[in-house]
Copies of this chain bind each other. A is one copy, B any other.
Amino acid sequence: METLTVALADRAYPIHVGRALLDRGDLLLPYLRQPKVAIVSNTTVAPLYLERLSGSLRRAGIEVVEIILPDGEAFKNWQTLTTIFDVLLQARCERATTLLALGGGVVGDMTGFAAACFQRGMPFIQIPTTLLAQVDSSVGGKTAINHPLGKNMIGAFHQPKLVLADTDTLKTLPDRELRAGLAEVIKYGLIRDLPFFEWLEVHLEGLLCRDPELLAEAIVRSCRNKAEVVVADEHESGERALLNLGHTFGHAIETAMGYGQWLHGEAVAAGTLIAAQLSSQLGWLGASEIERVVRLFQRAGLPVFGPPLAVERYLELMQHDKKVREGKLRFVLLKDIGQAVVSEVAAESEVRRAILARSAHA
């Protein structure tokens, strides 16, 4: 087991990465404020892993309440969230009860937001079971639900007390979800870590074959990047926005296609290539760099073109992007591989051109 720390002063917390951690209820005990937890999971993950986690906690004398949500981004909304509140109240959970998120990004985001709001704030712990959640969404305290007009529009910053990433859970992850998770892994290399990008170029097939050591290293290096950025800018007033490379376009794709049709990582991959294209139009990224980026996403089996979506639809949905300021879009762009910036300089005509260049044609 390897342990990193998100060094946020009075809200610092550890990230444990390793094997068979689901059986280690003992790792959670120091973080509980009372001998009672509520575990939120979904209909896919619960049959695989819930009993192991619950059992390990019950053996340690902890009362466990279980909350099973439907699976998928399409359910990341208020209606599902109220299911959590209903059960918490019926089961007499209190401000000091800890909420555990056992699942992927959707479960983690919703559980975190429920914890942020229930009785105005209760503690929670992230136990991510997908690659995407282990490398990205479980770390950093961003929680949210979707709104029909925009992804992650309603949410809160609420840091977990602990992140427990059991790499064994990746054995049961569908291929498509493994690939989607790799999009966020590649992102760290692109925005701030050229050596990591180069390491990924060497080891991508090993990761796709789920070599446990390689996966663990990719997770740890990703989390280290994420933790550094979050500590420098917890509430995204500056640097943290870089983590959103490809997300402005990606969120538009997810919202337009219907939540869950494109996986988040798939939309981020296509969005990242639109951002790379725009960067190259601005003269920042050369043709050979673009080619390198495209090739890595292709090897990962990720889409390198967006869906056949009208440019107008992108522009309309992107108006709701959280980075918009005074009506002006701001994009995360690449000065080079390993060096991202937030920029307002792109003219709308250039944005249109980049989207067109990187969209599948209907």
- Which residues of A line the B interface, CB within 8 A? 34, 78, 82, 85-86, 89-90, 92, 94-96, 116-121, 142, 144, 147, 149-150, 152-157, 235, 319-320, 322, 324-327
Contacts and interface: CB of A to CB of B under 8 A. Distances in A.
Contacts of A89: 147, 149-150, 153, 320
Nearest to A116: B156
A65 to B, nearest CB: 13
A111 B326 CA distance: 22
Given A34-B326, A85-B147, A320-B89, A153 B119 contact: yes
A319 B34 CA distance: 16
Nearest to A119: B322
Contact of A92 (B86, B142, B154, B327): B327
A312 B210 CA distance: 57
Nearest to A94: B324
Interface centre among A86, A155, A157 (most CB of B within 10 A): A155
User: How many copies of the polypeptide does the oligomer hold?
Assistant: 2
Nearest to A117: B154
23 contacts: A34-B326, A78-B78, A85-B153, A85-B154, A86-B149, A89-B149, A89-B150, A89-B153, A92-B319, A92-B320, A94-B324, A94-B325, A94-B326, A95-B324, A117-B156, A118-B153, A119-B153, A119-B155, A120-B142, A120-B157, A120-B322, A121-B235, A156-B156
A326 B142 CA distance: 29
Contacts of A117: 117, 154-156
A61 to B, nearest CB: 14
Contacts of A144: 120
A119 B144 CA distance: 9
A82 B147 CA distance: 9
A82 B78 CA distance: 9
A120 B78 contact: no
A35 to B, nearest CB: 9
A85 B96 CA distance: 30
Nearest to A143: B120
A362 to B, nearest CB: 27
The 4 closest A-B pairs by CB, nearest first: A89-B149, A120-B155, A119-B322, A117-B154
A92 B322 CA distance: 11
A362 B117 CA distance: 37
A157 B121 contact: yes
A169 B353 CA distance: 54
A84 to B, nearest CB: 10
Contacts of A142: 120
Nearest to A324: B94
Given A85-B153, A121-B156, 11 more contacts: A78-B78, A78-B82, A92-B320, A92-B327, A95-B324, A117-B156, A118-B154, A120-B152, A120-B157, A121-B157, A121-B235
